[in-house]
Amino acid sequence: MNIKEEINRLFKEEYGKLISVLTKTFGASNIELAEDVVQEAMLEALKQWEEKGLPDNPVGWIYKVAKNKALNVVNREKHKRNYQSEIANHLQSQWTAAPMLDHIFSDKEIADDQLRMMFTCCHPKVSLDSQVALTLKTLCGFSIPEISKAFLTTEENIRKRLIRARKNIRDAEIPFEVPQGKALDKRLTAVLESLYLLFNEGYYPSKGNDIIRYELCEESIRLAEIIAASEVITKKSNVYALLALMVLNVSRFKSRLGPHDTIIDLENQARANWDQKLIQKGIVYLELATEQGEVSIYHILATISAHYCTAPDFDSIQWLDILNLYNHLMEIDNSPIIQLNRAIILAKVEDATFALQALDQIEDKSQLQSYLPYFTTRAELHFQNNELELAINVLKEALKITKRENIKHLINSKIDLYSENN
Amino acid sequence: MQEFMLFIKTKGDHLESLSPEQQQAHIQKVGVYIGGLIQAGKLKGAQPLEMEGAVLHGNKGVFKDGPFNESKEVIVGYFHLVADSLEEAVEIAKANPIFEDMDASMEIRPIKQVEGIN
């Protein structure tokens, strides 16, 4: 690894930790100040290291620079800004500044602060897409161009979302803490939702490039693991279930990728390429998730994923069990996309006609009208029923909802295939 | 939980009686001591004071300056503590490394709490 890559990796690893500690120091209303300070510290490190090479303890080096900068900021602007933090007061005293810096930069405090940062970023006063953008920016060290690539939107758009998120936090005076008591359950649900969204941004196709997408999945797992390791959060059933779901899905990530940003379906994935270590890890998380007897959509989705991962081959998948899990899932969440996924299983257990009927029964199809898998699934089901003309018509509709040339190309080649059989 | 002020007094500049090495070692010990208080959540604040300053006496609008004598016993700093009781605050005070390294005294006083407005 060359020095530039080494520095980049190090920065990405340490960025979120430093931001979290400094946000606690300056107060949640000063997130941007924390970002500026970390940015400066990293630029300084980059300049030094490119000239003189990596120091013996690069992480310690960055922390030292960050500590000094924090101290300067707190003392330089102490009469101008309201930091609303006892830490800032301690950093203004000759006696307590150094012991306080050592304290807040200890491993345990850093882990707790990342947790607090998650709860601050994913506060209900911040809109869901801003939550995810801010989490990526602060906790994962993603740059604005990287976030905009991940979301397939403009940098300007992401910049606006971040500004809005920081403003929401300031205006609502959101404290930098993990909520306690009854509020915790609700807020934890919101954090997990945001992490799941982050994961799905990475996991589902036609968004950004593969490397960034895989990183999104890794980051959402890393953040969920911080929650799982926390001592202040005791009810972790849903956390473990979400982790199981993410880890089991990611174990198949690389074997899912086909040419031109396409997804290879389960039947045609090379099982030898599945990551067995991750599958084991996912199963352990799933066991932990079931200890407290709770059932959330994460539990059910993770169990479904475990079925796929542990079946020795495609033909031994227990479709009936999976259909039952989907039936159970629909009692909690009968969103159109879940109904669509259930219909795919129904085709395995019963037949394509049954599945098509189930699709027809979905009441609100508005969400599906822009969802490509809805069309490809319908087409496939008609094809199985030998209704080639219907299959082709559905695919022609699908062509209208995508602007991506490579996807259009794939749809067209399928239309050609069906037409030849016709 | 109650809050306390601890006023630390020494004769003259408390660090002056120490060699540079001893000063260094002393500051290190105080750092560890304060770090422990921070970790235990006992410390609201602690600050050293400059050696120069002023003493003022006043009575019904008539002021008299000083005398301020920095070689006599002066307040060199304060600790603002949170403790369960005066006894605990005294124990915390006794553990201050300043007593290992020099002659010092401390005054420990509970902070009066607001009990409504008259």
User: What is the rounded average pLDDT of the residues B102-114?
Assistant: 92
Residues A268-297 have pLDDT tens digits of: 888 888 999 999 999 999 999 998 888 999
Residue B117, in any domain of the structure: no
- On chain B, the residues whose CB falls within 8 A of the CB of A101 are none
Rounded CA separation A212/A47 (Å) = 26
What single string gives the DSSP state of each residue in A279-317? Answer: HHHHHHHHHHHHTT----HHHHHHHHHHHHHHSSSGGG-
The answer to whether B43 and B37 are in contact (CB under 8 A) is yes
Show Cβ contacts of residue A77 under 8 Å, excluding neighbours closer than 6 positions: none
Count of structural domains, chain B = 1
A-chain residue closest to B27, CA distance: A95
Chain A interface, best mutation among B33, B47, B79, by max A CB count within 10 A: B47
Using an 8 Å CB-CB cutoff, list chain B residues near A24: none
pLDDT computed for residue A227 by the predictor: 96
Q: What is the pLDDT of residue A366?
A: 81
Question: Residue A8 has what pLDDT?
Answer: 83
The pairing of strands B62-65 and B56-59 is antiparallel
| Residue B47 maps to a domain | yes
Cβ contact A90–B48 (<8 Å): no
Q: What is the C-alpha to C-alpha distance for residues A248 and A281, in angstroms, rounded to an integer? A: 8
Distance of CA A89 to the CA centre of its chain: 36
Whether residue A108 lies within 8 A of chain B, CB to CB, comes out as no
**CATH number (domain holding residue B85):** 3.30.70.1060
Residue B17's domain comprises 2-110
Residue at A157: amino acid letter: N
Q: Are A266 and A308 in contact (CB under 8 A)?
A: yes
Find, among A73, A160, A170, the residue nearest to A120 by Cα.
A170
Q: Does B48 touch chain A (CB under 8 A)?
A: yes
Return the residue of B nearest to A100 by Cα. B35
A24 touching B, CB under 8 A? no
Residues of chain B positioned with their CB less than 8 A from the CB of A95: 30, 34, 46-48, 77
Return phi, psi of residue B79, to 5°: -120, 135
A99·B34 Cβ contact <8 A: yes
Tokens of A299: 């539990």
Which chain B residues touch A102 with a CB distance below 8 Å?
A: 31, 35
Say if residue B106's pLDDT is above 70.
yes
pLDDT tens column, A190-248:
999 989 988 988 887 555 566 667 888 999 999 999 999 999 899 999 999 999 999 99
Could you tell me if residue B54 is inside a domain? yes
Q: Which residues of chain A make contact with B45, given a CB cutoff of 8 A?
A: 86, 89-90, 93, 96
Beta bridge partners of B47: B78
Interatomic CA distance for residues A360 and A345, integer angstroms: 15
Which residues 217-276 on chain A approach chain B with CB closer than 8 angstroms? none
Is there a domain that residue B115 lies in?
Answer: no
- Residue A170 to residue B106: CA distance in whole angstroms: 42
- The residue among A75, A95, A102 with the most chain B CBs within 10 A of its CB, best to mutate, is A95
- Model confidence over A361-381: pLDDT tens digits? 998 888 788 788 899 899 999
> Is B116 contained in some domain?
no
CATH code, residues A333-422: 1.25.40
The pLDDT value given to residue A283: 97
User: Do the Cβ atoms of A93 and B47 come within 8 Å?
Assistant: yes
Burial level of A411, CB count in 10 A (0-12/13-18/19+)?
Answer: buried
Handedness of CA A345, A395, A410, A153 (dihedral sign): negative
pTM of structure: 0.84
Give the model's pLDDT for residue A164. 95
Q: Three-state SS for B117?
A: coil
